[in-house]
Structure 1
Amino acid sequence: VSSWVTHVIVSQPTHEDRKAVLSCIFRVAVCCWNFGNFNTAVEILSGLKSDKLKPFWLSLSGKDKLPLLDFLSSSLLTPGPTQEYKEAVERALDIPHSKVIPFFGTFLRDLKTVFNGMPSLLVLPNNDTQELELVAQFQGEDHFMSRVGVGGIINMKKIEQVRQVLDDIRAFHQHAEHRRKELISSSTSEP
């Protein structure tokens, strides 16, 4: 989708045609945001932010700039989930008939952050020190944890954060299942 967006704009013969196509594509991105299709909105924004479009963006005057593009970019194309994105997801999930499509990259990014950023084991303090030691020693190219011994315990905070990400995924799945059941029940009840 990102490549297609870039290609459609660049392939237009005139500057006015490129602006017209940009306007149409941008309206699609805004509709995707409003309807809860966040994955497509991110793909469209990624295409609009392509390096191939830099000369086109530089050629636009101030009145042609799209302030909503900056809002969507700052909401969707950030390293971490923003408050605007969280609120938009909640709004979309509150619409029972809406087919909400999250940007799955956020789930992968969040899981990667938890797995790489937190130790898996805590070493219990011995009698000499009263501090907990965090252990995250990866061995070899397969990055399996090395054995610590009997003094280590599982980092429950890490497990809780992974569970939170999985609960977020489950919320989208439950919404889709509820929507599917309502569509089936409404189609069977019609005369």
Structure 2
Amino acid sequence: VTCLTLLQKYTPIRQDSALGIVLSGFYAIGICLLTRIQKMEFGNQSGLDSFLFGQASALSINDIWGIGITLAGIGLFVLATHKELLISGFDPSFARSIGIHNMLLQYGLWILLAFCIITSLQVIGVILASALLIIPAATASLLVKRMNAYLFLASLLGGIAGLGGTFLSFMGQGLPTGPLIVLVSTFLF
């Protein structure tokens, strides 16, 4: 509650973004602590953490290909419809008046978002996938005001968080990759 209050008082972040950032950060801390406890003699192995928080170390080459294909599909869609997405997002009435199909774009975005989440489940899990959809975008919105810079910065911050969390997991004596990625993203925020 204190973190939410401070974020709302001292940043222009909306309440929903602040809630997502704080919850994601604390979930990540919790799973790091859970992992440490499970490695102790008295730790209880539940398996729930791999569904909620992913298991990047279990990726196969086919998983990596699937992630790459999903990334390419999303990138191509955004590049092909960039202007239409901007117009539709900022002024739907104007977009309709010049012949842009807002609903078609909206459905396309929702389908790609679903593919993004499904593809990321094994790597980072359910909860952390939502965190990585919110935190880099919220961070970028604090730093830039132009849409192209915003999209680039949010993508860059997500990539830095992914590489940083993976590196820390590699160096961190068995700490889980997914929560560390979110912790790096939360730190960048």
Report 1 or 2 for greater relative contact order, CA contacts < 8 Å, sequence distance ≥ 6.
Answer: 2
Q: TM-score, normalised by structure 2?
A: 0.24
The structure in which a higher percent of residues are strand is: 1
The structure in which a higher percent of residues are helix is: 2
Report the structure number with the largest CA radius of gyration.
1
